[in-house]
């Protein structure tokens, strides 16, 4: 019930923050805290668990992988919710199935977020050319501004 009240109050900004197990997403969240955060922000943490091709796996292997995935997601949710609560912010944790960039754009739009914050994976130029990148996808497909918090990389 309280969550609906928060969502209906227009003075709260809703901020989408893409998270995963990497230090890049932790850096992005910290950058948001240090540079963008307002005390009445409502934070929507968005996570896309990695999918496995389980078509050839036995039921026991599928069951084990799903348990591990559930535990990983639960630990990630607990960690990031604690970081948000330390800043005395409110929000929610959402997961979605599919390609991470598409999921992040869809959920941020569903939640009526006004900004998407994401980190970078720091893929090399060649890998990024072939694989694309989640942050590139979000930049080109998001309905709202996107803040890409680049991790400090060693100079080449």
Using CA atoms, how far residue 53 sits from 56, 58, 73, 88, in Å, is 8, 12, 18, 39
Question: Left, alpha or beta for 155 (phi > 0: left; psi -120 to 50: alpha)?
Answer: beta
Contacts of 25 (CB under 8 A, 6+ apart): 17, 18, 19, 118, 119
The pLDDT tens digits of the residues spanning 1-45 come to: 344 444 445 558 999 999 998 888 999 999 999 999 999 999 999
Q: Is residue 117 part of a domain?
A: yes
Q: Is residue 120 part of a domain?
A: yes
3-state secondary structure of 44: strand
Residue 100 sits in a domain whose CATH number is 3.40.50.620
pTM: 0.83
Q: How far apart are the first and last CA of the chain?
A: 52
Q: Is residue 90 part of a domain?
A: yes
In this structure, what token pair is assigned to residue 55? 């078509």
Q: Is residue 71 part of a domain?
A: yes
Which residues form the domain of 109?
16-50+63-149
CB 24 within 8 A of CB 117: no
φ/ψ of 48, rounded to 5, equals: -115, 105
| Residues recorded for the chain | 156
Domain count, the chain: 1
User: How many other C-beta atoms are found inside a 10 Å radius of the C-beta of residue 48?
Assistant: 21
Share of the chain above pLDDT 90, in %: 61
Q: Is residue 70 part of a domain?
A: yes
Q: Is residue 69 part of a domain?
A: yes
Q: Is residue 82 part of a domain?
A: yes
Reported as a pLDDT band with limits 50, 70 and 90, residue 78 is very high
The pLDDT tens digits of the residues spanning 46-70 come to: 999 877 777 888 899 989 988 999 9
Q: Is residue 58 part of a domain?
A: no
| Gap between the Cα atoms of 138 and 140, Å rounded | 5
């Amino acid at each position: 019930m309280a969550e609906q009240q928060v969502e209906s109050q227009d003075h709260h900004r809703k901020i989408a923050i893409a998270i995963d197990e990497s230090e890049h997403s932790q850096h992005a969240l910290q950058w948001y805290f240090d540079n963008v955060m307002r005390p009445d922000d409502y934070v929507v943490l968005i996570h896309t668990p990695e999918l496995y091709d389980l078509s050839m796996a036995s039921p026991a292997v599928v069951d084990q992988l799903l348990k591990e995935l559930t535990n990983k997601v639960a630990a990630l949710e607990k960690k990031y919710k604690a970081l948000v609560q330390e800043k005395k912010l409110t929000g929610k944790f959402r997961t979605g199935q599919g390609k991470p960039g598409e999921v992040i754009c869809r959920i941020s739009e569903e939640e009526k977020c006004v900004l998407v914050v994401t980190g970078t994976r720091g893929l090399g130029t060649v890998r990024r050319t072939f694989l694309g990148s989640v942050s590139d996808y979000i930049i080109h497909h998001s309905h709202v501004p996107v803040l890409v918090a680049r991790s400090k990389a060693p100079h080449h």
